[in-house]
A = this chain, B = another copy of it.
Amino acid sequence: MEKCVVPISGGLDSTVILHLAKKKFKEVHAVSFNYGQRHLQKEMLCAISQTGGFATSHRIIELDFFQDLVTTSSLTNNDLDVAKTKEVLGDPQTVNYVPNRNMMMLSICTAYAESIGASTVFHGSALVDSQAGYWDGSAEFLEAINNVNKLNRRDRVTIEAPLIELSKKEIIELGVSLSINLGVTWTCYEGKDEACGECPACSSRIKGFIDAGYIDPVAYSRDIPWSDYGCKEID
């Protein structure tokens, strides 16, 4: 396999994907998106740190218009609060959902892949995404997008999501086994100095680390009783 395109947010999943891509493809072309997300600065610092030395190229795509166009999401509209985990339990599509973001990002990655002759977009959707209510992070969504791509008469691109059936625990274990510095990843929806520990993204991350038996190297603004769960530091 020669070339792939990897959308990287700087989160756990796409960071693990980046390292997997490096094993499988000769050229890894990383792409990050600024769609006006409130955690942009934190995400991007992590994404750039992780791609350095790993990716063949890394482009930051400016979607300046998106924040103005899509105003219903707490991630892009600073007048809305990020919903905490306890506030959105059971909600099939929370205020933290960004409308059709994934199709937009994947369509741009696919256009790029077609242009450079890459066969694959290596994408970080994971089991927890659909469990959290994100329809556009599900296996069904990716299958449907690939059904669109199959209609292309030339230069067909396939979106592969090798983490799609993995739990957060399994992804963290995979990251540790690949010696990835998981301290240089950003998951929290808030863009503050320390992760909030209360948003759905933090909750699934914390649960993943507890299940894996590791202390998350990222700092939280609330106390996480790692030792109560028998967690140890990553070697």
Q: Say yes or no: B145 contacts A148, CB within 8 Å.
A: yes
| Chain A window 71-114, contacts with chain B (Cβ cutoff 8 Å), 1 for yes, 0 for no | 11100000000000000000011000011110110011011101
In the complex, identify which listed stretch (A59-67, A192-200, A205-213) lies at the interface while the others stay far away. A59-67
Contact, CB under 8 Å: A100 / B72:
no
Does A218 interact with chain B (Cβ within 8 Å)?
A: no
Taking CB atoms, residues of chain B closer than 8 Å to A204 are: none
Which chain B positions have C-beta within 8 A of A64? 62
Whether, in the assembled complex, A23 has its beta carbon less than 8 Å from a beta carbon of chain B, the answer is no
- Residue A141 lies at the interface, judged by CB distance under 8 Å to chain B: yes
A34-65: CB near B (< 8 Å → 1, else 0) gives 00000000000000000000000001011011
Contact with B along A129-142 (1 / 0, CB 8 A): 00001011010110
| Interface residue? A153 (CB, 8 A) | yes
- CB-based contact B72/A99 at 8 Å: no
Q: How far is the CB of A37 from chain B (nearest CB, A)?
A: 14
Q: In the complex, are the beta carbons of B70 and A154 less than 8 A apart?
A: no
Does chain B have a CB within 8 A of A155? yes
Bound-state CA distance A145–B92 (Å) is 22
Assess A111 versus B115: contact at CB under 8 Å? Given A140-B151, A148-B145, A153-B93. no
Interface check A147, CB cutoff 8 A? yes
Q: How far, in angstroms, from A70 to B112 measured CA to CA in the complex?
A: 6
Whether A1 is near chain B, meaning CB under 8 Å from some CB there, is no
Measured between alpha carbons, how far is A83 from B134 in the docked complex, in Å? 42
Interface set of A (CB-CB < 8 Å, partner B): 59, 61-62, 64-66, 69-73, 92-93, 98-101, 103-104, 107-108, 110-112, 114-115, 133, 135-136, 138, 140-141, 144-145, 147-148, 151-155
